[in-house]
Amino acid sequence: MSRVFSGIQPTGQPHIGNYFGAMRNYVSLGEQYGKNSIYCVVDLHALTNPAAFDPRLLAQRTFEMALANFAVGLDPSKVVFFVQSHVPEHQELSWIFTNLTPVGELERMTQYKDKAGQLESVPAGLLMYPVLMAADILLYKADTVPVGEDQTQHIELTREIARRFNHTFGETFPEPKAVYNKDALRIPGVDGHGKMSKSKGENSTLGLLEPLDAVWQKLRAAPTDPARVRRTDPGNPDVCLIFDYHKLFSDLPIIEMVNVECRRAGIGCVDCKKKLMEGVTVALSPIQERAAELAQHPDDIRDALAQGAKEARAIAAPVMAEVREKVGFLKL
């Protein structure tokens, strides 16, 4: 059976873009693949971005990312869910892969170039990021990796590393394939400037666990079709991010009503946003209630993560034993 792996960055609060682009997908893949779906909060990766990394917040953000995933319905007893730094084999395999990967290939990675271009001093870890990602995936011999299209190059490199290892040391790893969730790239930021992204700051995101009145304040201030200067000006929902959100949160009759009434100025933008907020409330309230319940029992979350790390290590240990043997380390 196929095995799915996905890494989740513990950077800031998860937002609705993460939910529709990834988290919701984890739940359905978990139902399909059971314990062959492996999800990892990649806290080691968080260190590679000095601008976003804060040692005082790392543990809290890692914990919150686990809590948020459980709150949306991911059942840690049915999948393998753990924290990357709790499974040291990730780093061991990463080091072996580092020695199979030309520096030139890593320097050509688009994400590396983008991020490095913003830094005065570039940590070597940022360059090595895709090697660690390859180790994350191949440590479990995962063959299916749900990602956004911005990860295509990294998955290609993972396949290349698997080929190189197999060629050098003998057939060991599958070449994993990327499974794209196109929704991830289409959810606009609430500030109207491109994709919803944590890296653009909180003004861009609608937090999954953000208090609903704060969500409403952001929606209220969100830009709409600039052609609607007055209430009586007809608009075009196809150029309005509020309509994009309606497609995520509202029922079909509401979506159809907005699509018609906006074009003939039959509904004002404030009322349109209020209708949207009703859908947002229906969708987010149960998630937030569940998160509040889970937060009452932090030890249960920690226990689930400890159990997840145990299960992950049970898969990783024999793979690493095979790798060590093939690379030729002295056995005691």
What is the per-residue DSSP string for 149-177? GGGHHHHHHHHHHHHHHHHHH-S-----E
Report the distance separating Cα 195 and Cα 38, nearest Å.
27
Annotation says 182 is catalytic: no
Is residue 11 part of an annotated ligand binding site? yes
In the chain, helix, strand, coil percent, each to 5? 60, 10, 30
Can you tell me the distance from the alpha carbon of 145 to that of 139, in angstroms, rounded to the nearest whole number? 13
By rule CB under 6 A, what string of x and - marks binding of each residue 167-186 to ligand SF4? --------------------
CB of 15 to ligand SF4, least distance (A): 20
Distance of CA 191 to the CA centre of its chain: 20
Q: Compute the chain's Rg from CA coordinates.
A: 22
The answer to whether 320 and 139 have CB atoms below 8 angstroms apart is yes
Q: What would the two tokens of residue 293 be?
A: 């319940």
Q: Annotate each residue in 211-230 with x if it binds ligand SF4 (CB under 6 A) or - if it does not, as one string.
A: -------------xx--x--
User: Of 4, 133, 262, 304, which lies in the binding site for ligand SF4, with binding defined by CB under 6 A?
Assistant: 262
Is 315 a binding residue for ligand SF4 by CB under 6 A? The answer is no
Q: Which of 35, 78, 195, 247 is catalytic?
A: 195
Q: How far apart are CA 102 and CA 164, in angstroms?
A: 11
Nearest CB to ligand SF4, comparing residues 107 and 238:
238
Q: Is 37 annotated as a binding residue?
A: no
Residues numbered 237-256 forming contacts with ligand SF4, rule: CB under 6 A = 237, 240, 242-243
Whole-number minimum distance, CB 227 to ligand SF4, in Å?
8
As a whole number of angstroms, the distance between CA 185 and CA 244 comes to 12
Determine if residue 17 is labeled as part of a ligand binding site. Answer: yes
Q: Can residue 188 be called a binding residue for ligand SF4 (CB under 6 A)?
A: no
User: Of 78, 141, 182, 198, which one is the catalytic site residue?
Assistant: 198
**Does residue number 190 form part of the binding site for ligand SF4 (CB under 6 A)?**
no
For residue 215, the minimal CB distance to ligand SF4 (Å) is 15
Within 42-161, strands assigned E span 80-83, 144-147
Which residues of this protein are in contact with ligand SF4, per CB under 6 A? 224-225, 228, 235, 237, 240, 242-243, 258, 262, 267, 269, 272-273
Residues designated catalytic: 115, 195, 198
